[in-house]
Amino acid sequence: MKKRSILKVLTTILILGMSFAVAYAAIVGSIKEGLVEYVGAQKDIFVSGKALSVVSLEDLAGRKGLYAMGPIDGLDGEITIYDSKPYITKVRGKDFVMDNTFKHGAFFLVWTEQMKWQDVPVPSSVKGYIDLQQFVKAQAKRAGIDVTKPFPFLLAGTPVEIKWHINVDRTGGKPITKSLFMKSKEPFVTKNEPVDIIGFYSDHHAGVFLNQFSPAIKEGSGIRNEIHIHLVSHVSKAAGHIDDLTLGEGMILKLPQP
């Protein structure tokens, strides 16, 4: 009986060890920098011509205070995870559908695990995308966050308007180019809906987990895109990548609390 008990314990330890190894291997290649972690890069799809999965969301399931975003592999939708709950949207026909499971892969993903946030009221002078980008950086500096490294932020309230999109494959089976990538987006507009917005700031991750340009920033303006933001609506199934927005009154910025 004693030998059997020892064998049972050793078997259990081996199984747990193998499970841990599998879970770890699934996110091999991820990079932790500042307050965020990421795997894959947007620019890689233009080298390979394919949007292949580099991570399964199931490997992040169960983590507390998880906030994440990225594009689904194959250009088939958007990933938004808010406080450990996934909001996965995919274009189907002339509309889109939402799934709330982790059974999806991403060709790049950026995330943070953050339990404590500090509120910062957003003044009425902060109205648009560029205003928001500048405000986030300034307030993060004031809060003692190292803005030379990427960090997450949240935004809550009711914007006047949000222009956003969901990726949908329109490559026709051809290798992905920048022009085909831009074509593979279905635009939507949401007005006066209470939302939660997840964002990641960085001044040196364009082409990794940030777009080099945003529709809200004119090319040649001398202004760089330094944020990647997604919305989750409180009253509809809207969730996806924000291209531009007009903020409403009384919005609240949330920054990581040291």
Rounded distance, CA 210 to CA 80, Å? 15
Q: Is the pLDDT of residue 151 over 70?
A: yes
Query: pLDDT grade, residue 18 (50/70/90)?
Result: very low
Rounded distance, CA 9 to CA 23, Å? 21
| Closest CA relative to residue 225, chosen from 204, 248, 197, 198 | 204
147 versus 5: the higher-pLDDT residue is: 147
pLDDT of 26: 43
pLDDT of 219: 81
Of the listed ranges 20-34, 142-156, 180-194, the least confidently predicted one is 20-34
Q: Is the pLDDT of residue 208 over 70?
A: yes
Q: Indicate the class that CATH gives domain 2-256.
A: alpha beta
36 versus 9: the higher-pLDDT residue is: 36
pLDDT of 220: 82
**What are the structure tokens assigned to 197, written together?**
């917005």
Query: pLDDT grade, residue 10 (50/70/90)?
Result: very low
What digits encode the pLDDT tens for the residues 81-110? 999 999 999 999 989 999 999 999 999 999
Rounded distance, CA 102 to CA 86, Å? 7
Q: Where are the domains of the chain?
A: 2-256
Query: What is the overall mean pLDDT for the chain?
Result: 91
What digits encode the pLDDT tens for the residues 19-64? 444 333 347 689 999 999 999 999 999 999 999 999 999 999 999 9
Residues 201 and 69: beta-carbon distance below 8 Å? no
Rounded distance, CA 57 to CA 86, Å? 9
Q: Is the pLDDT of residue 2 over 80?
A: no
| Mean pLDDT computed over 193-202 | 98
212 versus 15: the higher-pLDDT residue is: 212
Residues 211 and 42: beta-carbon distance below 8 Å? yes
Whole-prediction pTM: 0.88
| Partners of residue 254 on adjacent β-strands | 119, 154
Rounded distance, CA 118 to CA 10, Å? 46
What digits encode the pLDDT tens for the residues 106-147? 999 999 999 999 999 999 999 999 999 999 999 999 999 999
221 versus 77: the higher-pLDDT residue is: 77
